[in-house]
Amino acid sequence: MAAQVISGKEIAAQIRAELKSEVEKLAARGIQPGLAVILVGDDPASHSYVKGKEKAAVELNFHSEVHRLPESVSEQDVLALIGKLNEDPKIHGILVQLPLPRHISEKAVIQAIDPEKDVDGFHPQNVGNMYIGLPAFLPCTPHGVIQMLKRSGVEIAGKHAVVIGRSNIVGKPMAQLLLSENATVTICHSRTPDLAAMTKQADILVAAVGRAGTVRADMVKPGAVVIDVGVNRVDGKLVGDCLFDELSEVAGMITPVPGGVGPMTITMLMYNTVESAKRH
């Protein structure tokens, strides 16, 4: 039997409808959520992501600013702009689009953002709070995955979740959020000796490797929930880390690429910005 497809587009639309109502309540109090995005250089993928964020912010009636800076901009100038946005009462969320050019320290830039405006959830203070269970802005992609699971009726507590990937942006926080929902969590990565032996045990499998075709049908337990976070371009087409057609015959539920996790990432960024506006 073919797997049930979890539509990120549909779940994202539900959440955005809820956010619209929150934005209206804030407007009645004279507050308009404000999101500032900093984009450095000419990376086409980054420009495409930023356009999506800008569009979502405008649709939700946010105050939206995009600061497009040349590749040659100095680290000092980027940090000065962040400092200015930290002080700006119109701005509730600051996002610096990654990756940055080599001469700009990603670490310095992330740490310069006021943790109260860090709607990407990358500042060490938010990361630390997430790990010890204190209120924090959660990283958008892992938080989006948790929302997809919950809103699709997937029981997380007591399940064995396997995460492939250990990046600071997806893999590690994904494992922590699943743990916070009382799953038993295994993290796999490039040094895991027998990946298939691990993935076959998963009730919930999250693939976040960034390599097309990593997960095949013979690596998945029948009936498992498969969340594909990967975004790879193969022969001009966007594909995930999982072989979707193969896995659809084995998994119980699966996310597509595109139209799965992607729309959730931007939506959770909007969610964090609204939360920040409420706090301010």
Catalytic annotation, pick one of 9, 25, 51, 53: 53
**Does 53 qualify as catalytic in the annotation?**
yes
**Does 200 qualify as catalytic in the annotation?**
no
Catalytic annotation, pick one of 4, 25, 32, 120: 120
**Does 120 qualify as catalytic in the annotation?**
yes
Q: Write a three-state SS string for the chain.
A: CCCEECCHHHHHHHHHHHHHHHHHHHHHCCCCCEEEEEEECCCHHHHHHHHHHHHHHHHCCCEEEEEEECCCCCHHHHHHHHHHHHHCCCCCEEEECCCCCCCCCHHHHHHHCCHHHCCCCCCHHHHHHHHHCCCCCCCHHHHHHHHHHHHCCCCCCCCEEEEECCCCCCHHHHHHHHHHCCCEEEEECCCCCCHHHHHCCCCEEEECCCCCCCECHHHCCCCCEEEECCCEEECCEEECCECHHHHHCCCCEECCCCCCHHHHHHHHHHHHHHHHHHHC
Catalytic annotation, pick one of 25, 42, 43, 97: 97
Residue 173: asked if its preceding bond is cis (omega within 30°), the reply is no
Provide the annotated active-site residues.
53, 97, 120
